[in-house]
Structure 1
Amino acid sequence: MKCDWCGYEATEEQGDVYWELPDGTRAIEITSTPGIVCKGCHMAYQTDEVTKAIEDQLFLIDTKELPKSITYKELMERPRLLKRNYFDFTS
C-alpha cells in the first residue's frame, strides 16, 4: 500500500481520532478507528470510505447520547434514526 500524501510505503492500522459532531456542539474521540499510517512521512489518516462511514453514521444517529469516547465498532453499531443519509447526493 502506498501513502496518499508522499507515495511511500504505508500500512493499515487502527488509531484514535477526534470528530466534530454534525451539529457542531462538541467533538468526540473515536478509538480503534481503521486508518493508514505512512512509514515515510508518518502521516496518519483515514480512507475516504471510513471518513464517509463515520460522517454518515454521525448524521443518522442520536448524537446527544454519545459518550465523550467511543470505539469505531460501537459507533457503527448504534441504531440509526434514518435508513440512509438522504441529503448525500454523491451516490
Structure 2
Amino acid sequence: MICNWCQHEGAVEAQKTAFWELPDGTRAVEITNVPSIQCPNCEMTYIDDDIIDEIEDQFMLIDTEKLPNSFTYQQFMNQPKLLKKNYFKF
C-alpha cells in the first residue's frame, strides 16, 4: 500500500482511535478500532477519505444523543439508522 503522505510503498492497514465532534457541535466522542493506514517510513497514521465519508454519513443517519462517549467503529456503524441516506450530502 502506498502512503498518501510520503508515497512510500510500505504503508499498512491498522486500527486506531479517533476523536470526532458530533455534527451539532455539542460534544466530541472517541471511536476506537477505526480502519486506518500507518506508514513506517514517515510515521504518519491517517484515515482514508472513504472511511471518513462513511463516518460523517453515519453521524447524519443515527440518533447521536444515544451514543456513549466512547465506542468501537463497528458498534458505531451498527447503530440503527433513522434515515436511509444522508440527504444533506451534496
SS in 2 for 1:19: strand
1:21 shift after superposition:
0.6
Q: Which residue of 2 aligns with 1:7?
A: 7
1:88 shift after superposition:
1.2
Q: State the distance in 1 between where 2:63 and 2:19 align.
A: 18
- Unaligned 5+ segments in structure 1 are none
Q: State the distance in 1 between where 2:74 and 2:45 align.
A: 19
Identity %: 54
- Unaligned 5+ segments in structure 2 are none
Q: Which residue of 2 aligns with 1:57?
A: 58
Q: Which residue of 2 aligns with 1:87?
A: 88
TM-score, length basis structure 2: 0.96
Q: Which residue of 1 aligns with 2:39?
A: 38
1:17 lines up with 2:40 in the alignment: no
Q: What is the alpha-carbon root mean square deviation over aligned residues?
A: 0.7
TM-score, length basis structure 1: 0.95
Runs (4+) of structure 1 moved beyond 4 Å?
none
